[in-house]
Structure 1
Amino acid sequence: MSSVAVAASTTAKVRNGRPSKVSSGNSRSRVGESGILPSSLIVPRCAIVDPSFPLNATLPRWFRTEAGLWSRSRSDTIEEAMNPKIVLVAPSDAHEPARTMLPSGFDLLIEAAGSPAYAAALREAEYLVGFVDMLVKESLYQAAPRLRLIQLLSAGYDRADIATARRAGVPIANNGGANAVAVAEHALLLMLAVSRRLIWQHASVSAGRWRGNATPRVHELRSRTLGIVGLGTIGKKTARLAAAFGMPVQYYDIARLSEDAEDALGVRFRLLRELLRTSDIVSLHVPLNPSTQGMLGAAELALMKPDAILVNTSRGPVVDEPALHRALSAGAIAGAGLDVFAEEPPPVDNPLFKLDNVVLSAHLAGPTFESNIARLRNAFDNVQRVARGEPPLWVIPELG
């Protein structure tokens, strides 16, 4: 007999290096003393004789010759069939880290949102993890009757249907500040790039003009007053970084800190209009919701100093974009650093693209290698909490 044959009445679908479901089937051939091959595998005899046979590298870890016998116990099969399922919806660069970081006792199903495989996976899913706030709607809860937690990899959740989520009673958690350092650093990057006219300098040098006809007027961050709008996790990280540059920091938030907390962080509370009037740089760190949409319009921008800079790493619709363009074009404010836009991706004819006092990035403040790892770590930690019967962390305020 040239191969070890097994019955193929069902097919085991392999995910995360292990089958997500294995039927007991009618296996006829035994390997070793007690193991049984899953019904979906036919293993050439040469692979058993020679462990270097290429097929060995493609088999699940529990089925390789490094273990001594090519075998799998019935208890493993039963245990895996009962493992809770995590469905991950995320960019491809998160797939391998997710497989590596997956805690034991869970099955990971990585699917593209909207695909037939995704719909099938939802039927058994207890946890949905990813950049999925746009998927939070009635159809999700109908498709995933066993869902226990929606764990976002993002900080924002502005596309989620909160009313439907509240009725469903399934908690939604954000990333727990996993990208706070990344976004805070990016905010400081934009402050520096605008203050030092970095884009102008790069264009001048690369075009062979060196300094051009005149050295531009640039500013240090030291002693420039930073006004932070929204002092959450990211806002606090930004305040600490700004303090390292010697910047006085003031803030506006709907929930004021205690005086002791303000002293510890080195910040002072200001009402929004006062903050706009007295800040040299205004940095936005608020979530997008009905109360913050259009928060900075023409009237608010008119309060800012003529040499002030606006930085937005939160959400584009927080700012009235046409009003911002008019203020920048007229010199009502000195410049802006923008990572987010009213429409994303923005149309190619967006008038902000033609201004030389603006520095732009493509909503990339949050995704760094380090923050992507931290997102997954926090997500899996929260999944394990719920599996243990503990309440999840970082539940969004509307559902808390």
Structure 2
Amino acid sequence: MTESRVLYTDPPWLIENGALDLALATVEADVLGPDVRLLTAPYEDGRYVLTDHRLLERAAGADAVVVYRCQVTDALLDAAGSGLRVVVRQGVGVDNLNADLLAQRGLPGYHVPDYCVDEVAVHTSALTLALERRLIPQHQSLTEGTFDIYAGGVPRRVSRRTLGIVGFGRIGRAVARKLGTFYDQVLVYDPFVGRDLAEGYGARAVDTLPELLAASDVVTLHCPLTPRTDGLIDEAALRAMKSDAYLVNAARGRLIDPEALGRALAGGWIAGVGLDVFAPEDPHRDPRWKSVLAHPAAVVTSHRAFLSQEAETSSRRRVAELLRDALAGDLGDHVGRVLPIGAAR
């Protein structure tokens, strides 16, 4: 049998103790078998190299490409060649999968839309409650030698407050179920979801984003990154929020304008922010995030809301099973087929 080549561009689960180790691909080996050769981008100085000719050389002759945070481009697809059968994103979001380009090339594209719903909803809740209960300043004060119940200020009673959810897909609904139990009411803004659905989750739909922002004491973001949502939370949106409201984002970094967010924190337009995502991925590479990261009312994590042992194993196995079927010429009815923007769904 001819050996198939599968390029996993930047899989984090192959890194252990700062080194790339293909022997860690146990799930993939179990599903795909010995006739599939796994390749990755070069790994140097603590990161995958995704921006030079060496990635394209690794892609040459690939039967399948799996991206994590690598962007799907013309150059990558050209390098893979005419034998490329499928492109998969090992994750929920699809903005880097470039569905429109794949459609132009006649290539099927997939992601894993539902493997980490519980994890992201829990992480969103953790960021929110850390802000509400002022956990970070309390921790810092106590570990630095001061016992002070008032460090970070006096929290509010959340059972009298309103939670606002922007985007009511799988994760937004899970957040309504989990985090919503702490709040007096839950508002939802999602122009693609019927109003009655929100009521089934104990929430109330509103017609506009400004309406939600003005009424909510906490705003959590769960919408995909599209041309419509890129920069959704800009200066106007932040000024529309209550001055004692919190903003939480575990969806996509580009939903928020970092410069506007920095001004909002410095100017007291909002009370604080919880972030798990940034654009670029590492916010230290963009000076626009510096003031946000340094602000005492910010709680930040390194894009790990999706992470658990169970979720990672599930996503790896599901991707490998999809690859196995694609290489066998039988994609079947796999969940997660991605269509270009504007296509019928």
Is 1:317 matched up with 2:228? no
1:344 CA drift (Å): 3.3
Match of 1:334 among 240, 254, 271: 271
Change (3 A) 1:361 1:121: closer
Asked whether the equivalents of residues 322 and 331 of structure 2 are also in contact (C-alpha less than 8 Å), the reply is no
AA aligned to 1:398 is P
Change (3 A) 1:98 1:128: farther
Matches within 5 A, 1:254-273: 254-257=191-194, 259=196, 261-270=197-206, 271-273=208-210
Change (3 A) 1:252 1:124: same
- Provide, for residues 234-281 of structure 1, a one-character-per-residue CA deviation record: whole Å limited to 9, x for no partner: 21221221234355222111312362x333322221121111111111
Change (3 A) 1:221 1:379: farther
Matching residue of 2:142: 205
Q: 2:96 & 2:117 partners in 1: Cα distance?
A: 20
Change (3 A) 1:84 1:236: farther
Aligned pairs, number: 319
Asked whether the equivalents of residues 84 and 125 of structure 1 are also in contact (C-alpha less than 8 Å), the reply is yes
AA aligned to 1:241 is K
Matches within 5 A, 1:190-201: 190-201=127-138
Matches within 5 A, 1:10-25: none
Larger Rg: 1
1:159 CA drift (Å): 3.2
1:100 CA drift (Å): 5.0
Match of 2:301 among 343, 346, 361: 361
Matching residue of 1:65: none
Matching residue of 2:335: 393
Q: Looking at both structures, which has the greater relative contact order when contacts are Cα pairs under 8 Å and sequence separation is at least 6? A: 2
Asked whether the equivalents of residues 126 and 147 of structure 1 are also in contact (C-alpha less than 8 Å), the reply is yes
Consecutive unaligned residues in structure 2, runs of 5 or more: 16-21, 43-49
Match of 1:250 among 139, 162, 187: 187
Matching residue of 1:131: 68
Tell me the secondary structure at the aligned position of residue 168 of structure 2: coil
1:191 CA drift (Å): 0.2
AA aligned to 1:356 is P
Change (3 A) 1:301 1:124: same
- Provide, for residues 89-135 of structure 1, a one-character-per-residue CA deviation record: whole Å limited to 9, x for no partner: 31214943433542458614132266988656644433222315513
Tell me the secondary structure at the aligned position of residue 283 of structure 2: coil
Q: 2:296 & 2:322 partners in 1: Cα distance?
A: 44
Matches within 5 A, 1:1-400: 81-82=1-2, 84-89=4-9, 90-91=11-12, 92-93=14-15, 95-99=24-28, 101-104=30-33, 107-112=36-41, 122-131=59-68, 133-211=70-148, 216-246=153-183, 248-257=185-194, 259=196, 261-270=197-206, 271-347=208-284, 350-386=290-326, 387-398=329-340
Q: 1:341 & 1:139 partners in 2: Cα distance?
A: 24
Q: 2:264 & 2:189 partners in 1: Cα distance?
A: 22
Change (3 A) 1:194 1:341: same
TM-score (ref. length: structure 1) = 0.71
AA aligned to 2:313 is I
Consecutive unaligned residues in structure 1, runs of 5 or more: 1-80
- Provide, for residues 193-228 of structure 1, a one-character-per-residue CA deviation record: whole Å limited to 9, x for no partner: 111111100111011111177672113443432111
RMSD after superposition: 2.8
Matching residue of 2:45: none
Task: Tell me the percent identity.
Answer: 29
Q: 2:34 & 2:194 partners in 1: Cα distance?
A: 41
Change (3 A) 1:198 1:132: closer
